Chains A and B, each alone.
Chain A
């Protein structure tokens, strides 16, 4: 008994056991889930894609370190969140930014600054940012350098090629010249689908390969790092919208209801990257599952509104950013149902 008396016992609040899940493990696992899509991007856009992605990751990590040091916060770079953000930012950039004439290599660096310092850290750091940092970084770059951000290299040219030919994205063609032209470019419809699925088409580095993104998304679902709520509601809404409002009379160009092609819309642009990896960002999406369905519907709806009626060929980025604003509000109104609570209690809550 004397021996035990001398022990210095730790006293802390319950629970005394914890799961081994950690924030950094989540960040690194999501990064791993992005690998298939990233490798597809590297395959199709070569060395330039690797340079741009590496530049974004490095810039994001350096800006995070620099900011935390400047304000005297403890460094948390090891948690992997800056790495993941940089990765997502890089994957949302066109490989063509790696260009010395005109010089556009500063674009990813400045976008990284906006991403990490302004969107994430100035809002309070991890967990407190209202908007998806990588998407704000991309939006900032797109609005600041609209030309450089929309130069799309043709995929699958030689890996080391530094002067790839430029082309338009499938969504760009669809918007400007219509479906008939898009099919013509790719030969036939089946061929178009195959190109969109595999990633052999113009676009941002990480968004092109729909199949690789789906593999990564399913991996996250399997690992229970995300749930089906946001991706499914996002994609389903977009598909319905595309089918109902996406069809045009080939002669007059007028909208013909319920003749659109949902598949093209689902596997082109940033749809898959957005639905699986951007909209599911924990911090900037609702955390109540039912609320996530509304969030996903909003994302899908706004994406298609922008694609079909807006000035941009692609709407995923703005759709998610707009819905980010509503995430806290959605959480508040979808407050989880308390065990045993009777339904009529809802009325009481409105003040």
Chain B
């Protein structure tokens, strides 16, 4: 049997060797942390602290205002010095809480509960919700929402996403090597919450050490299987991973829950375990700081709200000629305009690229209809047509080519010999028409 896979996809150079062998280390907490009240998909939080108030590590500072939302917590102990609009990593102004770190590292109540698996699904779910856990692979969708499927959609499998198919990033890889037991425990909590008998961990073939560690950690539990997936981008996209591991195809516009699956990232599984056992809120995460332009690529355990500039400094600073800094991976991450922005729950990596490897996008040629993008589109779309239609302003027509099924993985733009900014054209078209 070959390794699990899906149709299409690409093989970019993975560059994981830069940071793969650097164990996770704690980054020093910044003097000032910026906690955006919206770090997730859904409604922003309302602040529940006031300026001048002393807060402890793990204290709730923002309460969710709607179902699809997630609370935020203080990541350091100290004093609230400001509440107001600050730019987030994407440059948008977001209501944020600024805390001055007093360096005391005082926690709110943390309680070890070794019998967390004895709790009821509702109690566990409440813990996940209270901990402010969101999808840590990048999308930052509130986890509790994923764990509350409607009754008519029974879930029969939980899938832990250890594919980490984005080149360069190694945060999940390090977690699987260093904390495999905890990740497996997180999976067990998820299975308990959802009342599911079958848990899977999908890992790409290029991480043999992680696969071995996870198999070892899951040994003795027949309900959990570790599945080796082909190394191929975007193997870690939910729909692709479900197809590869379970052979199920999520219909267009539908969610994994429509085929009875809940997918959670490795980092999320760890956070879920820590929330279930200790009641620990999501105030830190592993961030891979890597790329050819950084002096010491590292996997850092970083407090939410740490300035990205501080992380760069913690990794020995830039080499000469840095041209681009990306939050996330090179395929779907976004370029930062400023380093004075905070790490949020969805920040999986900081990628520093020097001038000579930056793909300059300003010059592109016409589509020569070579069909490469059609061959590799994991969603089975015709990116060539989407880009041509969008370029000419035929947005409604683009819709007929299934515009809204595109999840912007960027594989098409990667392979395009004319270097067309296909993702950009797709986003433009999406913004011009209603789904």
Q: Does A347 contact B (CB under 8 A)?
A: no
Partner-binding segment picked from B74-82, B194-202, B246-254: B246-254
Q: Does B224 contact A (CB under 8 A)?
A: no
Would A76 and B371 count as touching, CB distance under 8 A? no
Q: Does A10 contact B (CB under 8 A)?
A: yes
Question: Which residues of chain B in 299-316 are interfacial with respect to chain A, using CB atoms and an 8 Å cutoff?
Answer: 307, 309-310, 312-313
In Å, the complex CA distance between A142 and B350 comes to: 61
Proximity bits, A328-344, B CB within 8 Å = 1, else 0: 00010001111111100
- CB-CB < 8 A to B12: which residues of A? 17, 19
CB proximity of A48 to chain B, nearest CB, Å: 33
Q: Does B382 contact A (CB under 8 A)?
A: yes
Would B251 and A23 count as touching, CB distance under 8 A? no
The listed residue (A11, A14, A25) touching B417 by CB distance below 8 A is: A25
Would A7 and B410 count as touching, CB distance under 8 A? no
Would A282 and B370 count as touching, CB distance under 8 A? yes
In Å, the complex CA distance between A15 and B165 comes to: 14
Question: Which residues of chain A in 78-104 are interfacial with respect to chain B, using CB atoms and an 8 Å cutoff?
Answer: 79
With contact pairs A9-B323, A282-B368, A340-B251 given, residues A21 and B374 touching in the complex (Cβ less than 8 Å) = no
Chain A residue, CB-CB nearest to B331: A15
Partner-binding segment picked from A125-133, A146-154, A205-213, A250-258: A125-133
Would A9 and B335 count as touching, CB distance under 8 A? yes
Chain A residue, CB-CB nearest to B401: A335
CB proximity of A74 to chain B, nearest CB, Å: 9
Would B421 and A13 count as touching, CB distance under 8 A? yes
Q: Does B150 contact A (CB under 8 A)?
A: no
In Å, the complex CA distance between A73 and B410 comes to: 29
Q: Does B396 contact A (CB under 8 A)?
A: no
With contact pairs A15-B331, A338-B381 given, residues A127 and B368 touching in the complex (Cβ less than 8 Å) = yes
Would A10 and B358 count as touching, CB distance under 8 A? yes
Q: Does A16 contact B (CB under 8 A)?
A: yes
Would A341 and B251 count as touching, CB distance under 8 A? yes
Q: Does B124 contact A (CB under 8 A)?
A: no
Would A4 and B318 count as touching, CB distance under 8 A? yes
Would B359 and A336 count as touching, CB distance under 8 A? no
Q: Does A289 contact B (CB under 8 A)?
A: yes
CB proximity of A79 to chain B, nearest CB, Å: 7
Proximity bits, B363-400, A CB within 8 Å = 1, else 0: 00111111110110111111011000000000000000
Would A16 and B251 count as touching, CB distance under 8 A? no
Would B340 and A5 count as touching, CB distance under 8 A? yes
Q: Does B155 contact A (CB under 8 A)?
A: no
Q: Does B289 contact A (CB under 8 A)?
A: no
Would A9 and B324 count as touching, CB distance under 8 A? yes
Would A339 and B313 count as touching, CB distance under 8 A? no
In Å, the complex CA distance between A338 and B254 comes to: 13
Number of interface residues of A (CB under 8 A): 43
Interface residue SS majority, chain B: loop
Q: Does A77 contact B (CB under 8 A)?
A: no
The listed residue (A11, A283, A285, A289) touching B337 by CB distance below 8 A is: A11
Q: Does B325 contact A (CB under 8 A)?
A: yes
- CB-CB < 8 A to A282: which residues of B? 368-371
Would A17 and B359 count as touching, CB distance under 8 A? yes
Would A16 and B359 count as touching, CB distance under 8 A? yes
Number of interface residues of B (CB under 8 A): 77
Would B379 and A339 count as touching, CB distance under 8 A? yes
Would A340 and B250 count as touching, CB distance under 8 A? yes
Most buried by A among B330, B358, B369, B423: B369
Would A287 and B381 count as touching, CB distance under 8 A? no
With contact pairs A23-B365, A287-B369 given, residues A11 and B336 touching in the complex (Cβ less than 8 Å) = yes
With contact pairs A127-B368, A288-B371 given, residues A15 and B380 touching in the complex (Cβ less than 8 Å) = no
In Å, the complex CA distance between A342 and B360 comes to: 39
Would A287 and B370 count as touching, CB distance under 8 A? yes
Proximity bits, A163-206, B CB within 8 Å = 1, else 0: 00000000000000000000000000000000000000000000
Q: Does B402 contact A (CB under 8 A)?
A: yes
CB proximity of A226 to chain B, nearest CB, Å: 9
CB proximity of B160 to chain A, nearest CB, Å: 21
Q: Does B334 contact A (CB under 8 A)?
A: yes
Q: Does A18 contact B (CB under 8 A)?
A: yes
Question: Which residues of chain A in 116-170 are interfacial with respect to chain B, using CB atoms and an 8 Å cutoff?
Answer: 124-128
The listed residue (A4, A10, A14) touching B339 by CB distance below 8 A is: A4
Q: Does A293 contact B (CB under 8 A)?
A: no
- CB-CB < 8 A to A70: which residues of B? none
CB proximity of B61 to chain A, nearest CB, Å: 25
- CB-CB < 8 A to A125: which residues of B? 366
The listed residue (B243, B357, B417) touching A26 by CB distance below 8 A is: B417
The listed residue (B338, B360, B371, B418) touching A23 by CB distance below 8 A is: B418
The listed residue (B239, B359, B424) touching A18 by CB distance below 8 A is: B359
In Å, the complex CA distance between A106 and B423 comes to: 47
CB proximity of B240 to chain A, nearest CB, Å: 8
Would A338 and B414 count as touching, CB distance under 8 A? no
Would A16 and B330 count as touching, CB distance under 8 A? yes
Chain A residue, CB-CB nearest to B358: A10
- CB-CB < 8 A to A124: which residues of B? 366
Would B375 and A289 count as touching, CB distance under 8 A? yes
Would B339 and A17 count as touching, CB distance under 8 A? no
The listed residue (A22, A26, A331, A338) touching B379 by CB distance below 8 A is: A338
- CB-CB < 8 A to B260: which residues of A? none
Question: Which residues of chain B in 1-42 are interfacial with respect to chain A, using CB atoms and an 8 Å cutoff?
Answer: 7, 10, 12-13
The listed residue (A16, A22, A341) touching B326 by CB distance below 8 A is: A16
CB proximity of A281 to chain B, nearest CB, Å: 9
In Å, the complex CA distance between A26 and B208 comes to: 36
Q: Does B213 contact A (CB under 8 A)?
A: no
- CB-CB < 8 A to B121: which residues of A? none
CB proximity of A29 to chain B, nearest CB, Å: 11
Chain B residue, CB-CB nearest to A24: B417
CB proximity of A36 to chain B, nearest CB, Å: 23
Q: Does B430 contact A (CB under 8 A)?
A: no
Proximity bits, A260-282, B CB within 8 Å = 1, else 0: 00000000000000000000001
With contact pairs A4-B312, A127-B369, A340-B250 given, residues A14 and B410 touching in the complex (Cβ less than 8 Å) = yes
Would B317 and A4 count as touching, CB distance under 8 A? yes
Question: Which residues of chain B in 402-420 are interfacial with respect to chain A, using CB atoms and an 8 Å cutoff?
Answer: 402, 405, 408, 410-411, 413-419
CB proximity of B180 to chain A, nearest CB, Å: 30
Would A16 and B358 count as touching, CB distance under 8 A? yes
Would B380 and A341 count as touching, CB distance under 8 A? yes
A10-B335, A17-B414, A19-B12 are known; give 16 further A-B pairs, CB within 8 A: A1-B310, A3-B317, A4-B318, A7-B339, A13-B335, A15-B423, A16-B330, A18-B414, A19-B415, A23-B418, A127-B365, A285-B369, A287-B382, A335-B401, A338-B379, A339-B405
Query: What is A's interface to B at a CB cutoff of 8 Å?
Result: 1, 3-5, 7, 9-19, 21-23, 25-26, 76, 79, 124-128, 282-283, 285, 287-289, 331, 335-342
Q: Can you list 5 contacts pairing A with B, beta carbon distance less than 8 Å?
A: A1-B313, A287-B370, A338-B252, A339-B249, A339-B379
